[in-house]
Structure formats: structure tokens, C-alpha cells
Structure 1
């Protein structure tokens, strides 16, 4: 994995239901930087499509990723945390093109756990029915990508602590 540069912009990524919206603000608070909710960058057409149970395609995602990338670029050198599913390498590459120093925290977990958590969410536009398409699209972080994978079992505070620890380890020089 690449070495972490600080202050940095962290993209909390993963399939729907992994806790990006919960962990993102907690992580931002622990790092002392602002948080931006990735879902807020979606155009209404994307929200309508997902609400209808239709997965987004790449053409739907590009403007959304560009908006997130612009936010991350604006936070370069200042730090920040933003959520984004960033499921494909090409999506992460697009975010890195906009904001070269971004680091990813990939929230990972068992499909059954994630589906259970999604089924208990209130008022979110992403239906559980789209979880299969999320897992089918997911391309985990590769060794040449700056980032860490963090398991989502446990409480939000435990998950956040693991993320901070993993980011700290990433920021230490290799021996």
C-alpha cells in the first residue's frame, strides 16, 4: 500500500449498508476534519433511479464522482472525509484524478450482516434489492491504491477506532 500523506482527504467506501454514513462523520470527528455525505452529491435523477430499484450505470455515476472529486480537490492540504461507494477501480481512479492525495477506507463485511443492517434503515433511498448489484460491481482496493480495508463488525465506535488505527499504520514510514 502507498504511504499516507497528511493532512489527507479520506473517502469512506463500500457497498450500500456498510455504514459509510455512520462511520464517515465519526472518522471525521476523530481526525478533526469536515465530513461530506456522498449521497448529497447525487443528482435527483440518480436518487429517483435507485429509489425505483434500478442500479446506476457508469454514465449515471460520472457526474456524481466528479462532484465528490471536486469537493475532495478543494480539501487538498486541509483534510476531510467524504463517503462514496467507489465500488470500481475506475471510479477510484476518477476520484484520484480529481484529488490525487485521496486515501480510501474500504468498509467490508459479510453480506448477511450488511443486508440485515440495510433492512433496519429508515428513510434511505437505496433498497436492499440493489445489494446484489453492489456486490457484483465491487472491485476491492488493490495493493497499489492508497487505502485500507476495515471490517464492519462491532459498534460504530469500534469500527471507527479500527479505521483510525489502520490509517495511522498507513501513515507510518515503511521499515
Structure 2
């Protein structure tokens, strides 16, 4: 990405599998954790949840369940123009604004059964954080 080239599935899979291992390690003793990555496609989210089992299923995305209890995805969404404007304004980030189009082309917003909280980035960071905290409180 720093060279201006979008990542492929082959580029992403090794680190998605590593993140799956981290999620499993943190869940096993019942701890809480936050893992941050751009899981743009349903397959990527399934790999995060189910590891290599998500890759060996006969149909992509057909793992028996689409979510795991206790694992939630935060889906921060906004328009291409808004995100592009923010990217152009930031400095020192590895991802070039020109790559945003490829991200939108790959994007598969989460389905309702994927345990996703949809968060509009037009809202303030404080408002988004409060909504996440409220959701987590309701789960307790």
C-alpha cells in the first residue's frame, strides 16, 4: 500500500490468520480485547472469527455461523468523498488517498447476522465512543 498498490487477498490472509489467533487467545480466558483492522469483505471477517476453517468451506462465507458470541465488528461508514477529503488532509500515513477507490470496490458491508455495530463517521469521535460504550454496557 505504501507503494500505491492495493493489497490482494493473498497479501491479507496471513495477517488475518494471525489476528484470528490473537482473538482466540484473548477469548479463551474470558478477557476483553479490541482488535483493529479493515476487514472489508465478509470472508475477511469470517477468517478473523473462524481462522482457516473459513477458507476450506465449500462456499465462501458459509461457515455454520456468521458470528461468535462476544465478538463484535464496528463498521465505521461514510461516503467516498468525505473519507477522501479526510485522507488528503492527513499527513504521514502509509496509505495513499488514491487507494481509497480500491477499498470501496472491495467493501462488503456487514450483514445483520455478523454482529456489527454501524457507526456513521459524520458524528463526533466522542459520540461514536459513547455509542460503543452503551452497546457494551447492554451486553454485560
Shorter-chain TM-score above 0.5: yes
The CA distance in 1 between the partners of 2:115 and 2:132, in whole Å, is: 14
**Greater alpha carbon shift after TM alignment, 90-99 vs 130-139:** 90-99
Structure with more of its chain in strand, by fraction: 1
- Output aligned runs, 1:1-175, within 5 Å: 50-76=1-27, 77-98=30-51, 100-101=68-69, 102-168=71-137, 171=139
CA RMSD of aligned residues (A): 1.9
Contact 1:88/1:137 (<8 A) preserved: yes
Give the aligned length: 122
Larger Rg: 2
Q: CA deviation at 1:162?
A: 2.3
Preserved contact between residue 53 and residue 129 of structure 1 (Cα < 8 Å) = yes
Greater RCO (CA < 8 Å, at least 6 residues apart): 1
1:36-56 deviation line (CA, Å, top 9, x unaligned): xxxxxxxxxxxxxx0111000
CA contact (8 A) 1:108 1:150 kept: yes
Residues 167 and 139 (structure 1), Cα distance of their counterparts in 2 relative to 1, 3 Å cut: farther
Give the stretch that moved more between structures: 109-118 or 78-87: 109-118
Please list every run of 5 or more consecutive structure 1 residues that lacks an aligned counterpart in the other structure: 1-49
